[in-house]
Chain A
Amino acid sequence: MIPKEPRPKLPEDIQAPPVPPEALQGDKAGSAGEANPPIYVLRLYVANHTPKSVAALANLKVICEEHLAGRYQLEVIDLLENPQLARSDQILAIPTLVLELPLPMRKIIGDLSNTERVLVGLDLLSK
């Protein structure tokens, strides 16, 4: 129902440079100094490019670059393109950020403007 052409920022554009898991294994980007810092696999569910979705993506990018630089994977899913995923992935709210790994799986809903809450959700606050 919404035309697909006007995309101000494609999700791919914002996506962090893909880091191969092998590379992450090797302690290269670990600022915390741990031997094996966990890889963060994140998925952001949006519905087209509503202001909230765009804001969420921008906020997420900032947070990830700041706290998880080089050790995260982010996939952006547009539910309007794949509506069946809403059911299979149990998505209600938009935007929803799903933390697939490390376990346990967690969901953060909202435009991620409250950084502290996001960090709580990602279990990064203590670090």
Chain B
Amino acid sequence: MEKSRKQLLKTPTGIRGLDEITGGGLPQGRPTLICGGAGCGKTLLAMEFLVRGVTQYDEPGVFMAFEETAEDLTENVISLGFDLKDLVARKKIVLDYVYLDPGVMVESGDYDLEGLFIRLGEAIDSIGAKRVVLDTIEALFSSLANQNILRAELRRLFRWLKDKGVTAIITGERGEASLTRQGLEEYVSDCVIFLDHRVVEQISSRRLRVIKYRGSTHGTNEYPFLIDEDGFSVLPVTSLGLQQIATSERISTGVPRLDAMLGGEGFFRGSTVLVSGTAGTGKTSLAVIFAVAACMRGERALFFTFEESPSQIMRNMRSIGIDLEPWVQKGLLEFHANRPSFAGFEMHIATISKAIKAFHPQVVVFDPLTSFFIGDNENEIKAMVMRLIDLLIMNKCTALFTSLILSGSTPEHSQVHVASLIDTWLSLRDIEFGGERNRGIYVLKSRGMAHSNQIREFLLTDHGVELRDVYVGPSGVLTGSARLVQEAQEKAATMLHNQEGERRQIELERKRTTLEAQIATLRAEFAVQEIASIRMVGQELAEDNQLAQERVDMGFSRQADATQNHQKEGLS
């Protein structure tokens, strides 16, 4: 029981994803059983475990093969980039092919498998191996007749491996009723990993499941995995918790007025954007512009296209005045074109994951996402999309999906299974009016930002995308030429209004001029009269003085007094 403390020690496999599922790797110093049907990748998984052990963790390993010769094995894994010859020459790996030919083997009496033990022990000691693979030890069952001895010896072998302290992988062929044909799971019970290769609707997918892992928690789901030119990769993306840190950084959509609709600044970095619309509403164009905007900021954009070839997109985008060639040449824009049907969604996710890891894009575009929705199983689709989104979030990418919706169905209905996963949803729609079909765009939802609630007209011009206000009036929403007519009418009305104002202004001016002229005339007349009046007053005064003088003179002559004179004057 002193081993129980060791159970928590784990040996990392170095295989992408597997260590995440198992919480760090395989149980250290213990055998692990890997079982599965023919061609499911058991040997490869085991081989990669050894090679990664050498290259990444400096742990030499022994590969004991019961089915393939060392030469075959070496050749088979060259395509995965493993140079076994070199590793063997550097004494990092021992390849031992156990030749079993029942035709030349006769059994007589009691025996044991000490030869195998000596052989394995010698191989382990010769390079100080920490890792051992037995592939496929069940082959012994077909060449040795005495099963009782064999079972007892296998039990002893696994105990011996534990005592040796090596981390071992034992592969086993899948059986009818049990995990392996010979029930190896009875002997190797610390960790059992099951590989499966299945075909659903003509699309094959490989899956891996950790059936058992004593003394450790592990992911229990079936995880898709992939074997490609870089070896094995398991995709545990659904294991990602919702722990991502949301940034409040914003990035432009590439269309200034669309940025304005999204609170003035565009999308959140690291968010997930859905652009949905019926056929021909400009989804791809919007997506391309978004990617180009990223390139202009000096970021890398990865464009997955599932319906058009890259050159087709480039040609089409030239018609709206966008040249993608320079960005591709600068290495800022990369296209990946695949038909959705060429592999299962898992495989796509795996290739997407690899492409993202290789290119480190800040922006990823999928055009269109709906190509994948072949089946009817909404839950499955949602799970797949969730995995894809998790993958993107993990890599801190801002993702834009385009999504084709059937005309006649409302976007809210047709995308119900992915809607909840999307942060910002732009809906493109066509507006048919007055014998025309025009494009409209509106923000259906955008988490965490104040966004416009208006429909804008979406114009594809020879210099990119433009958004225009649509005319909303008593006659409804007007777009296209109807909007132009409306605009012209409004312009005419305004002009008329302006002219009227000017006319009034002139009239007023004229009135003022007339009035002022009249005032001047009157003033002149008055001045003349004034002068005349003043003169008359002066004359009268002079005459009065004359008269008074004459009276005084007369008084003198009559010898009257001054008072009498005054009285006479007052009476007269």
Q: Which residues of A contact B114 (CB under 8 A)?
A: 47, 50, 79, 93-94
List A residues at the B interface (Cβ < 8 Å).
45, 47, 50, 52, 55-56, 59, 79-80, 83-84, 86-87, 90-96, 104-115, 117-118, 120-121
| Cross-chain contact A118 with B108 (CB below 8 angstroms) | yes
Q: Can you name 12 A-B pairs with beta carbons within 8 Å?
A: A52-B112, A55-B109, A56-B109, A84-B122, A86-B122, A92-B98, A92-B100, A92-B116, A93-B116, A96-B115, A109-B111, A120-B106
B107 interface hit (Cβ, 8 Å): yes
| Cross-chain contact B98 with A117 (CB below 8 angstroms) | no
A109 to B121, CA, bound (A): 20
| Cross-chain contact B115 with A94 (CB below 8 angstroms) | yes
| Cross-chain contact A114 with B115 (CB below 8 angstroms) | no
| Cross-chain contact A83 with B118 (CB below 8 angstroms) | yes
Q: Which residues of B contact A52 (CB under 8 A)?
A: 109-112
Interface residues of chain B: helix, strand, loop or mixed (majority): mixed
A85 to chain B: closest CB distance in Å?
A: 9
| Cross-chain contact B112 with A94 (CB below 8 angstroms) | yes
Contact with A along B470-493 (1 / 0, CB 8 A): 000000000000000000000000
A110 touches which one: B96, B99, B104, B108 (CB < 8 A)? B108
| Cross-chain contact B115 with A93 (CB below 8 angstroms) | yes
B32 to chain A: closest CB distance in Å?
A: 23
- Could you say which interface size class chain B belongs to? 20 to 34
- Could you list 18 further interchain pairs (A-B, Cβ under 8 angstroms) beyond the known A90-B99, A93-B111? A52-B109, A52-B110, A52-B111, A83-B119, A83-B121, A83-B122, A87-B96, A91-B115, A93-B113, A105-B104, A107-B104, A109-B107, A109-B111, A112-B108, A113-B108, A117-B107, A117-B108, A118-B106
B177 interface hit (Cβ, 8 Å): no
| Cross-chain contact A110 with B122 (CB below 8 angstroms) | no
B145 to chain A: closest CB distance in Å?
A: 10
Q: Which residues of B contact A121 (CB under 8 A)?
A: 106, 108
List the 7 shortest-distance A-B pairs measured between CB atoms, nearest first: A113-B109, A121-B106, A83-B122, A110-B109, A117-B108, A86-B119, A94-B114
| Cross-chain contact B98 with A90 (CB below 8 angstroms) | yes
Q: Which A residue sits closest to B112, measured CB to CB?
A: A94
B109 to chain A: closest CB distance in Å?
A: 4
| Cross-chain contact B110 with A113 (CB below 8 angstroms) | yes
Q: Which B residue sits closest to A94, measured CB to CB?
A: B114
| Cross-chain contact B119 with A109 (CB below 8 angstroms) | no
Q: Which residues 94-144 in B have Cβ within 8 Å of A in the complex?
A: 96, 98-100, 104-116, 118-119, 121-123, 140, 144
A86 to chain B: closest CB distance in Å?
A: 4
Q: Which residues of A contact B115 (CB under 8 A)?
A: 45, 47, 79, 86, 91-94, 96
Q: Which residues of A contact B110 (CB under 8 A)?
A: 52, 55, 110-111, 113
A26 to B53, CA, bound (A): 60
Q: Which A residue sits closest to B96, measured CB to CB?
A: A87
Q: Which B residue sits closest to A104, measured CB to CB?
A: B104
| Cross-chain contact B111 with A110 (CB below 8 angstroms) | yes
Q: Which residues of B contact A55 (CB under 8 A)?
A: 109-110
A55 to B119, CA, bound (A): 22
Q: Which residues of B contact A117 (CB under 8 A)?
A: 106-109
A44 to chain B: closest CB distance in Å?
A: 12
Q: Which residues of A contact B108 (CB under 8 A)?
A: 108-115, 117-118, 121
B106 touches which one: A84, A94, A108, A113 (CB < 8 A)? A108
Q: Which residues of B contact A109 (CB under 8 A)?
A: 105-108, 111
Q: Which A residue sits closest to B149, measured CB to CB?
A: A93
| Cross-chain contact A86 with B104 (CB below 8 angstroms) | no
Q: Which residues of A contact B111 (CB under 8 A)?
A: 52, 93-96, 109-111
A110 to B112, CA, bound (A): 8
